[in-house]
């Protein structure tokens, strides 16, 4: 899948003739998912320009406009198509900005966990022995404790240690670290399994006989072969990370209301469910489900298409 | 058998050791009990004296041994907030959580098995396609959201005003689509007191009513996972030789599906169940928050707000113990179901 | 009237990319106590034929046409409930691999007793004693112990004996055995064949054996069907077919047997491969591989590639070949030319 050697035209031709594209053309559901995902990404990239207002700009907020309903309910205002929240912020805008935060944390956390997990997995698989046993037992314990539980515990400790105010300033970084640290075992296991499968193959043996260093063998020979399982896993993990972030924020261990993610939007809106303003909490919730569902469906499709285990066999 | 139990015990000790180190680190590194006890106005001399009397000036490993020794004696110190032993506080709150988990596990089991089997037997029917689609969406729904939707639907209710209220049919349709609500969605109500410390929601209609929405919302998160797994496994098993052979022997379909196929399907389901226990505990935190269900999860979150370290540590240790015990039980169940695995731990 | 009569049976698998016709216009009959073999290469449709008799086809297979009559009951028309009373009870089956046939998570005893209870009102104790009796009949050692064991604890040969015992449990009229010895060691194969033959003779049970192995079929059966690409190309007495095959395909099969090869001569193989069932050639399905597709003058015979041959009597067999009579007349000449 490298495009480095070859003009753009051959790279394009290779993509055009690929199995990947062939499958995409035959799968209506995957097309819809990809389209939706693309639209969501574009929407979130362009949010500062397309959002009706900037929820971070206090000058644009009018407390008198609080708890306006969305457009299909009597009493709505055209300036706020999805209504407003309890502080008078435009709900559509807060949702878009919130989804940006959620997605940023999702991508960031997956970056952290994939780096950590891949390195540790490579190490465990390639070195074997005590390193392997130790790392894998640690992964087992962490997984049996459940990664979400792990994230909650770490989040709780961080909050108890540094207090809530700390989250206001470094929320995104903290959450990326927490979720990244708690989910690495998934990657480590996947990478380790592929390494063990690759290690037995002849080309690795040949590279070793030729006298390449083990790091070179790992990075140049084994790692490229673990890319497709990592890609498939990453898609699912982005969805998981977004969910984990939402859960943490909902428990008050995540993004503060002043710089809300979708999770903290849902949390802050929850108090107004009883007063009848269901949209403040349920609309961001729906948006979250949509985001996660699209990513999950894409992950499903990627797994079916790339079938990492089958091609690795 | 003995070998298996020994190995399990060793693993349990290792896990508990890791958790206790974490717990110790939290207790030692975070809350400063001296400042907690004396307040910010204390002099240096006062705090040094207290530090000494509490044993906080000794090396870390000695402090850890003290901590571990107390933990083995089930002594985690007094809760800062409740002013009573942390374990007693947990014992008071845990039954509510256990009842919630038990109820949702029952719902999950009772629904996922028939749904998974039905969808595998009739893969082309519209109902099973719909159910599988729902389960796909269900995986992407966080537990607190399903809880809130349940509250909106059955506790608050929906007033539909989509159709013109002036006309008779409009009003009729509006009323038809509206939901009254009224289900309790806050706390446990008045659970019935049985056997000393246990207050149960299972012993009265009213208690069950309070339990219903929280248990349902928890079950709705676990359901899709189990339905999808049972469905996938069942599809595979139904293609197997032994199912075909069972049909060739003229057995009743119910026996084929619910004994021959299901027993083989259950093996991976049990494994998933074991893995999900941890996630389930995490989900109880979320569910209890939404419904203000006075269980151990809510207590834990309150303890975090109050930086009530002994309680936090005790909760972690108890949860760790629950993991270890349930994982062992799941392992035993798996071995009971699968004759191919002998109890010495090796596949025959 | 024969015990089992199959007439013009057609089995199809409608798939997204067209339909596969696995069994085409197959007719045969089986008398009480008769042992019939069905032989052919893998993919010839023999297993599909066997499974279709009791309507045990996997999705999306279905019987498109034809009749299967058992003691006058039209099996293709019976309700599921009525059919269930025949399956395992009057017509029993033996599958290919005994280790995957028996359910791995149920004991031998459970599986034997449930078979009995599915068809008889019988106490568990009585069922157990019947099971033990049948296990002894198939010469299983320490049968009491076997009842408490799981399939994975037993060897393949032992499992197949148990499967045979299960087939005999309800004293059926017919046993259908699909490749009963293929998954077993060669030494055990002979024992199982002898056992099956002995039991069928003793209890006067009809037997249908599906195999790709003419050796197995030759020892076990009295009559033989040869299948090719979903059709019967030859049927007749087993001995007659093996000694004097009429259809060019059957001749090829028999010449390919190691026993038939002359010392230090390579085995005679039929050139080419059997077509997949989704793309069977028009006319006689065998004609692209047939050494008689050309006239002695080198002209292609048009009938072979255009018309499906009808079965004609030739020697003691019925043979589906356009030229079989003519060929037999000219055979000595061809033999000389070779």
- Give the phi and the psi of residue B264 in degrees, each rounded to 5: -75, -30
Find the helix packing angle between B262-291 and A129-144, rounded to 10°: 60
Q: What is the pLDDT of residue A4?
A: 46
**CB–CB contact B244 C95 (8 Å):** yes
What's B24's domain CATH number?
A: 1.10.3720.10
- The residue with greater pLDDT, A218 or B289, is B289
**Binding partners of B (≥3 Cβ pairs within 8 A):** A, C
Q: Quick check: is B53 in a domain?
A: no
Q: What is the pLDDT of residue B343?
A: 47
The full DSSP string for C30-45 is E-TT-EEEEE--TTSS
Residue C269's pLDDT band, with cuts at 50, 70 and 90, is confident
Alpha carbon of B328: minimum distance to chain C alpha carbons (Å): 21
Alpha carbon of A161: minimum distance to chain B alpha carbons (Å): 5
Helix (H, G, I), strand (E, B) or coil at C234: strand
Alpha carbon of B253: minimum distance to chain A alpha carbons (Å): 32
**CB–CB contact A278 B275 (8 Å):** no
Residue A2's pLDDT band, with cuts at 50, 70 and 90, is very low
Report the CATH fold assignment for C4-221. Answer: Rossmann fold (3.40.50)
Domain ranges for chain C: 4-221, 246-337
- The residue with greater pLDDT, B144 or A3, is B144
Contacts B145 to A, Cβ<8 Å: 266, 282, 285, 288-289
- Give the phi and the psi of residue C313 in degrees, each rounded to 5: -80, 130
ipTM of model? 0.89
CB B262 within 8 A of CB B233: no
Count how many pairs of residues, chain B against chain C, have C-beta atoms within 8 Å.
Answer: 80
Within 8 A by CB and 6+ apart from B37, the residues are B50
CB C37 within 8 A of CB C217: yes
CB B317 within 8 A of CB B23: yes
Q: Quick check: is B44 in a domain?
A: no
Q: What is the pLDDT of residue C328?
A: 64
Contacts B274 to A, Cβ<8 Å: 144
Which whole number is the average pLDDT over C89-112? 92
Residue B277's pLDDT band, with cuts at 50, 70 and 90, is confident
- Span C193-222, pLDDT tens digits: 999 999 999 999 999 999 988 888 988 999
Give CA–CA dist C76/C69, Å, rounded.
8
Q: Which of B312-316, B343-347, C214-218 has the lowest mean pLDDT?
A: B343-347
Q: Using alpha carbons, select from A246, A240, A300 the residue that is nearest to residue A33.
A: A300
Helix (H, G, I), strand (E, B) or coil at B158: strand
pLDDT at residue A3 greater than cutoff 50: no
**CB–CB contact B247 C100 (8 Å):** no
Q: Quick check: is B63 in a domain?
A: no
- The residue with greater pLDDT, C261 or B136, is B136
- Strand pairing partners for C206? C174
- The residue with greater pLDDT, A16 or A295, is A295
Domain count across chain B = 1
Q: Quick check: is B52 in a domain?
A: no
Residue B144's pLDDT band, with cuts at 50, 70 and 90, is confident
Contacts C102 to B, Cβ<8 Å: 242, 245
Q: Which residues of C258-283 are buried (b: 16+ CB within 10 A; e: fewer)?
A: eeeeeeeeeeeebeeebbebeebeeb
Q: Which of A301-305, B25-29, B90-94 has the highest mean pLDDT?
A: B90-94
pTM of the predicted model as reported, rounded to 2 decimal places:
0.81
- Span C140-173, pLDDT tens digits: 999 999 999 999 999 988 999 999 999 999 999 9
- Give the phi and the psi of residue C235 in degrees, each rounded to 5: -140, 145
Give CA–CA dist B116/A30, Å, rounded.
24
Is there an interface between A and C (3+ Cβ pairs < 8 A)?
no
The full DSSP string for B262-295 is HHHHHHHHHHHHHHHHHHHHHHHHHHHHHHT--S
Beta strand extents in chain A (DSSP E only) = none
- Give the phi and the psi of residue A172 in degrees, each rounded to 5: -60, -45
Give CA–CA dist C122/B71, Å, rounded.
59
Q: What is the pLDDT of residue A301?
A: 83
- Span B37-70, pLDDT tens digits: 666 666 777 777 776 776 666 777 777 777 777 7
Find the helix packing angle between B262-291 and B143-150, rounded to 10°: 70
**CB–CB contact B140 A292 (8 Å):** yes
Q: Quick check: is B346 in a domain?
A: no
Alpha carbon of C105: minimum distance to chain B alpha carbons (Å): 6
Q: What is the pLDDT of residue B40?
A: 61
B251 touches chain C (CB under 8 A): yes
Measured CB to CB, residues of chain A less than 8 Å from chain B are: 74, 137, 141, 143-146, 148-149, 152-153, 156-157, 159-161, 239, 243, 246-247, 250-253, 266, 270, 273-274, 276, 278, 281-282, 285, 288-289, 292-293, 296-297
Give CA–CA dist A64/A88, Å, rounded.
7
Q: Which chain C residue is nearest to residue B244, measuring alpha carbons? A: C56
Q: Does residue B77 come out as left (phi exceeding 0), alpha (psi in the -120 to 50 range) or beta?
A: left
Mutation for testing the A interface, residue in B33, B160, B304, B316 having most A CBs under 10 Å: B304
Q: What is the pLDDT of residue B342?
A: 57
* Cβ-nearest to C101 among B245, B251, B264: B245
Range of B328's domain? 2-30+74-337
Give CA–CA dist B283/B145, Å, rounded.
12
pLDDT at residue B256 greater than cutoff 90: yes
- Span A167-188, pLDDT tens digits: 667 778 888 988 888 888 888 8
The full DSSP string for C157-203 is HHHHHHHHHHHHTT--SEEEEESTTTTS-HHHHHHHHHHHHHHHHHH
Q: Quick check: is B38 in a domain?
A: no
Residue C329's pLDDT band, with cuts at 50, 70 and 90, is low
Contacts B244 to C, Cβ<8 Å: 51, 56, 58, 95
Angle at A155 between CA A152 and CA A158, to 5 degrees: 150
Within 8 A by CB and 6+ apart from B237, the residues are B243, B261, B264, B265
**CB–CB contact C100 B242 (8 Å):** yes
**CB–CB contact B30 A149 (8 Å):** no
Q: Which chain B residue is nearest to residue C59, measuring alpha carbons? A: B239
Residue reference for tokens 């033999």: C335
């Amino acid at each position: 899948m490298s495009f480095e050697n070859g003009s753009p035209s051959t790279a394009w031709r290779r993509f055009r003739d690929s199995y990947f594209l062939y499958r995409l053309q035959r799968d209506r559901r995957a097309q819809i998912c990809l389209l939706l995902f693309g639209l969501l990404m574009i929407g979130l990239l362009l949010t500062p320009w397309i959002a009706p207002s900037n929820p971070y700009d206090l000058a644009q907020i009018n407390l008198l406009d609080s708890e306006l309903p969305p457009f299909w309910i009597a009493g709505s205002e055209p300036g706020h198509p999805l209504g407003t929240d309890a502080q008078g912020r435009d709900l559509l805008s807060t949702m878009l900005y919130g989804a940006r935060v959620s997605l940023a944390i999702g991508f960031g956390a997956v970056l952290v966990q994939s780096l950590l997990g891949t390195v540790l997995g490579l190490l465990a698989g390639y070195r074997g022995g005590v390193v392997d046993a130790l790392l894998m037992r640690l992964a087992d314990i962490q997984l049996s404790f459940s990664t979400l539980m792990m994230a909650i515990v770490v989040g709780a400790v961080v909050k108890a240690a540094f207090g809530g105010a700390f989250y206001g300033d470094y929320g995104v970084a903290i959450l990326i670290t927490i979720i990244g640290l708690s989910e690495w075992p998934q990657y480590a296991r996947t990478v380790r399994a592929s390494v063990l499968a690759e290690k037995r193959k002849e080309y690795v043996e040949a590279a070793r006989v030729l006298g390449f260093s083990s790091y070179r063998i790992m990075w140049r020979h084994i790692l490229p072969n673990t890319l497709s399982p990592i890609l498939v896993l990453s898609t699912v993990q982005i969805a998981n990370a977004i969910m984990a972030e939402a859960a943490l924020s909902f428990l008050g261990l995540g993004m503060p209301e002043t710089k809300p993610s979708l999770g903290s939007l849902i949390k802050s809106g929850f108090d107004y469910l009883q007063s009848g303003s269901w949209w403040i909490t349920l609309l961001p919730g729906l948006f979250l489900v949509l985001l996660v569902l699209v990513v999950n469906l894409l992950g499903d499709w990627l797994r079916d298409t790339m079938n990492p285990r089958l091609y690795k066999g | 058998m003995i070998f298996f139990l020994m190995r399990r015990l060793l693993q349990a000790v290792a896990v508990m050791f890791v958790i206790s180190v974490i717990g110790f680190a939290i207790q030692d590194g975070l809350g400063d009990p001296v400042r907690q006890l004396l307040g910010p106005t204390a002099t240096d001399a006062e705090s040094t004296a207290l530090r000494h009397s509490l044993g906080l000036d000794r090396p870390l490993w000695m402090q850890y041994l003290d901590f571990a020794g107390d933990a083995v004696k089930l002594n985690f110190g007094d809760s800062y907030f409740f002013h009573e032993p942390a374990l007693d506080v947990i014992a008071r709150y845990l039954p509510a959580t256990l009842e919630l988990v038990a109820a949702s596990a029952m719902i999950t089991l009772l629904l996922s098995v028939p749904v998974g089997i039905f969808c595998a037997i009739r893969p082309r029917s519209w109902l099973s396609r719909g159910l599988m689609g729902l389960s796909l969406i269900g995986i992407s729904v966080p537990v607190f959201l399903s809880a809130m939707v349940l509250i909106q639907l059955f506790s608050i209710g929906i007033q539909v005003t989509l159709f013109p209220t002036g006309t008779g049919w409009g009003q009729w349709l509006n009323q038809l689509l509206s939901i009254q609500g009224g289900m309790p969605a806050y706390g446990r109500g008045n659970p019935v007191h049985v056997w000393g410390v246990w207050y149960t929601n299972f012993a009265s209609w009213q208690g069950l009513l309070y339990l219903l929405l929280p248990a349902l919302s928890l079950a709705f998160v676990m359901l899709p996972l189990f339905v999808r797994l049972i469905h996938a496994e069942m599809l595979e098993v139904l293609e197997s030789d032994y199912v075909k052979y069972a049909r060739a022997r003229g057995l009743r379909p119910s026996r084929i599906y619910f004994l021959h196929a299901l027993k083989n399907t259950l093996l991976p389901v049990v494994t998933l169940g074991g893995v999900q226990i941890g996630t389930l505990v995490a989900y109880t935190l979320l569910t209890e928050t939404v419904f203000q269900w006075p269980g151990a999860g809510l207590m834990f979150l309150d303890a975090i707000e109050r930086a009530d370290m002994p309680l936090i540590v005790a909760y972690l240790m108890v949860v760790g113990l629950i993991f270890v015990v349930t994982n062992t039980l799941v392992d035993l169940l798996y071995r009971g179901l699968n004759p191919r695995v002998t109890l010495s731990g090796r596949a025959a | 009237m024969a015990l089992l009569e199959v007439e013009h049976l057609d089995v199809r698998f409608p798939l997204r990319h067209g339909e596969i016709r696995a069994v085409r216009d197959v007719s045969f009959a089986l008398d009480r106590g008769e042992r019939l073999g069905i032989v052919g290469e893998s993919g010839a449709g023999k297993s599909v034929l066997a499974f279709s008799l009791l309507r045990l086809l996997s999705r999306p297979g279905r019987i498109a046409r034809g009749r299967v009559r058992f003691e006058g009951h039209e099996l293709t028309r019976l309700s599921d409930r009525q059919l269930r009373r025949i399956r395992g009870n009057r017509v029993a089956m033996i599958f290919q691999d005994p280790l995957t046939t028996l359910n791995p998570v149920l004991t031998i005893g459970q599986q034997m007793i449930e078979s009995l209870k599915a068809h008889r009102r019988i106490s568990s104790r009585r069922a157990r004693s019947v099971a033990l009796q049948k296990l002894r009949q198939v010469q299983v050692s320490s049968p009491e112990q076997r009842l408490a064991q799981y399939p994975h604890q037993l060897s393949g040969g032992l499992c197949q004996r148990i499967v045979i015992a299960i087939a005999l449990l309800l004293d059926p009229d017919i046993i259908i055995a699909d490749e009963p010895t293929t998954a077993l060691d060669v030494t055990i194969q002979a024992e199982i064949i002898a056992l099956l033959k002995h039991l069928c003779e003793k209890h006067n049970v009809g037997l249908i054996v599906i195999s790709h192995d003419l050796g197995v079929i030759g020892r076990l059966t009295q009559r033989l069907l040869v299948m090719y690409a979903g059709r019967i190309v030859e049927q007749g007495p087993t001995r007659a077919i093996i000694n004097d095959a009429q259809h060019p395909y059957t001749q090829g099969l028999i010449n390919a047997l190691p026993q038939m090869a002359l010392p230090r001569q390579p085995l005679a193989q039929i050139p080419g491969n059997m077509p997949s069932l989704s793309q069977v050639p028009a006319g006689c399905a065998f004609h692209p591989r047939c050494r008689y597709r050309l006239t002695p003058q080198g002209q292609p015979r048009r009938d072979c590639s255009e018309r499906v041959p009808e079965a004609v009597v030739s020697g003691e067999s019925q043979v589906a070949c356009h030229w079989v009579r003519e060929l037999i007349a000219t055979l000595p000449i061809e033999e000389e030319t070779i």
